[in-house]
């Protein structure tokens, strides 16, 4: 009787839902009113001809912010990483050292090898997203074996590290990898899709955080909330080569000032909101730990990503839980048969967080009651 009552209440509560909370990624944000206004009013021209004033303004500001000589708007983070790796590895037979769990290694279609002919040497990522310095050094090819080996030319880091739960890579560690790269005549690239999240969480200015890097790619369409684009930064020579490659890859676009205007609003208005996203992620993690059958290691929640486990003992199937949530307007991302990812962004309110937590609790009760009723 108690189970039936639980089920009825859960179903009633969930049926009343009329609200959508989209926690699949920080890429799902819609451009704010201020962004839309800036896009409408943007002063534009042909950027392939180097004449778009808003693009120039945006790239100059971005270069300054990141402490590098120059910047280049690119259509996506994937293209930003691809161009960066290819510029650093412009000789056939080049090799890049990167984390086995990195975005470049897993989610970018192997573009650095299929498009760029660059060989990957992966190193184990620790749970915090770092790679042991000793392992990186051991992976550097010895010049004496050059008759056989590819030539190591680049090391890549990812900050924050997405697949490691949005963990921040410290400035001390980044400097250490930078020193190692220098010692061996290598370049250092940072996939900084969420570098502003890391900077805010660590309390380190972003230009200092990436000081040791020769290039950084930064996503504009994640925490900064812009609708499209990424930016890469580096030396003037690096950016000149990157610009040619962007054209080769079909990423040279015309009136991109429209997109850069939105990115400027993101840079000016949304960086300061990241701290709130991180706080809400913590609230989320603490709340999930109160729900029977779910578990998060709160100490690993450093920024806006929360990965939580659905315990085996609960007998709840991750995909069924996600389905029930989706039917009720809560959108999350299953990442394995035992875990789910949620991502906070500036369009998720405190109230959305509490509402989602109670919806998850209701969904768990509903699934449990259905199981028991079978």
Ligand X SMILES: Cc1ncc(COP(=O)(O)O)c(C=O)c1O
Q: Which stretch binds ligand X (CB under 6 A): 77-85, 249-257, 309-317, 363-371?
A: 77-85
Binding of ligand X by 306 (CB under 6 A)? no
Q: Is 360 in the site for ligand X (CB under 6 A)?
A: no
User: Taking CB under 6 A as the rule, does residue 339 contact ligand X?
Assistant: no
Helices assigned H by DSSP within 254-331: 257-269, 274-289, 318-327
Our finding on whether 219 is near ligand X (CB under 6 A) is: yes
Nearer to ligand X, 86 or 365 (CB): 86
- Between CA 324 and CA 78, with CA 29 as vertex, the angle to 5 degrees is 100
What Cα–Cα distance (Å) separates residue 371 from each residue in 11, 310, 315, 320?
14, 16, 9, 12
Pick the closer one to ligand X by CB: 159 or 328. 159
Task: Give 220-262 as a DSSP string.
Answer: SSSTT--SS-EEEEE-HHHHHHHHHHHHHTT---S-THHHHHH
Which of 42, 154, 168, 193 forms a contact with ligand X (CB under 6 A)? 193
| Residues contacting residue 108 through CB under 8 Å, at least 6 positions apart | 78, 81, 82
Asked if 230 touches ligand X (CB under 6 A), the answer is: yes
Query: How far is Cα 254 from Cα 86, in angstroms, rounded to an integer?
Result: 23
With respect to ligand X, which residue has the nearer C-beta, 13 or 76? 76
Q: Which of 32, 65, 78, 362 binds ligand X (CB under 6 A)?
A: 78
Question: Which x/- pattern over 85-114 shows residues binding ligand X (rule: CB under 6 A)?
Answer: ------------------x-----------
Q: Between 78 and 304, whose beta carbon lies closer to ligand X?
A: 78
Best CA proximity match to 348, nearest among 331, 335, 360: 331
Q: Stretches 53-61, 71-79, 134-142, 361-369: which one binds ligand X (CB under 6 A)?
A: 71-79
Q: How far is CA 292 from CA 103, 176, 281, 310, 362, in A?
A: 32, 42, 19, 9, 11
Q: Does residue number 361 form part of the binding site for ligand X (CB under 6 A)?
A: no
Q: Which residues pair with 340 in a beta bridge?
A: 308, 334
Under rule CB under 6 A, residue 162 binds ligand X: yes
C-beta of residue 363 within 8 angstroms of C-beta of residue 293: no
In the complex with ligand X, which residue's Cβ is closer, 219 or 285? Answer: 219
> Interface with ligand X by CB under 6 A: which residues?
76-78, 81, 103, 158, 162, 191, 193, 219, 230
């Amino acid at each position: 009787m108690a189970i039936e009552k639980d089920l009825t209440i859960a179903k009633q509560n969930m049926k009343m839902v009329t609200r959508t909370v989209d926690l699949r990624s920080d890429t799902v944000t819609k451009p704010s009113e201020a962004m839309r206004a800036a896009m409408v009013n943007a002063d534009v021209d042909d950027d392939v001809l180097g004449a778009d004033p808003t693009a120039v303004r945006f790239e100059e500001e971005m270069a300054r912010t990141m402490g590098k000589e120059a910047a280049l708007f690119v259509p996506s983070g994937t293209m930003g990483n691809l161009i960066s790796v290819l510029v650093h590895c412009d000789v056939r037979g080049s090799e890049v050292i990167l984390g086995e769990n990195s975005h470049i290694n897993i989610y970018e279609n192997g573009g650095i090898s299929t498009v760029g002919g660059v060989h990957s040497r992966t190193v184990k990522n620790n749970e915090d997203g770092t790679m042991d310095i000793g392992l990186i050094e051991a992976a550097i090819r010895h010049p004496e074996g050059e008759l056989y080996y590819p030539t190591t030319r680049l090391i890549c880091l990812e900050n924050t590290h997405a697949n490691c739960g949005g963990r921040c890579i410290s400035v001390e560690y980044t400097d250490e990898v930078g020193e190692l790269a220098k010692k061996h005549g290598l370049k250092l690239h940072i996939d900084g899709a969420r570098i502003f999240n890391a900077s805010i969480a660590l309390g380190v200015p972003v230009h200092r955080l990436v000081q040791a890097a020769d290039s950084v790619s930064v996503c504009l369409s994640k925490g900064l909330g812009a609708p499209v684009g990424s930016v890469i930064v580096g030396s003037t020579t690096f950016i000149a080569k990157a610009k040619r490659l962007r054209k080769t890859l079909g990423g040279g676009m015309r009136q991109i000032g429209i997109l850069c205007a939105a990115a400027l609003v993101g840079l000016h208005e949304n960086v300061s909101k990241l701290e709130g996203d991180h706080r809400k992620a913590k609230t989320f993690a603490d709340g999930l730990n109160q729900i029977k059958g779910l578990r998060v290691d709160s100490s690993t929640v450093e920024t806006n990503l929360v990965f939580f486990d659905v315990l085996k003992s609960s007998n709840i199937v991750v995909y069924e839980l996600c389905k029930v949530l989706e039917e009720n307007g809560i959108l999350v991302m299953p990442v394995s048969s035992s875990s789910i990812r949620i991502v906070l962004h500036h369009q998720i309110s405190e109230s959305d967080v509490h509402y989602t937590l109670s919806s998850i609790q209701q969904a768990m009760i509903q699934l449990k009651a259905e199981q028991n009723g079978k």
